[in-house]
Amino acid sequence: MQILTHSAQFFDTLSMHASKMIKKLLKSIIQPKVSTYVDAKIWIQKILLEEKYGKINS
């Protein structure tokens, strides 16, 4: 009986880790990337500054 108790604990832990991994995977697929957001934010700021102060050649 002790083997069954340990295997039940093992599979409970395994299923818990598997569900956490699936949640993280889904979040990474569904949520937008932070780097993409930052990149878009920089381009928008650059365009707004160019409209306000004119194009700067760099």
Q: Name the residue ranges covered by the structural domains of the chain.
A: 2-53
Q: Which of 4-8, 18-22, 50-54 has the lowest mean pLDDT?
A: 4-8
* Contact partners, residue 14, CB within 8 Å, separation at least 6: none
Between 3 and 30, residue with greater pLDDT: 30
pLDDT of residue 4: 65
Does the pTM surpass 0.75? The reply is no
Band of pLDDT at residue 6, cut at 50, 70 and 90: confident
Q: pLDDT for 10-47, tens place per residue?
A: 888 888 889 999 999 888 888 766 667 778 888 899 99
Sign of dihedral through CA atoms 4, 10, 11, 16? Answer: positive
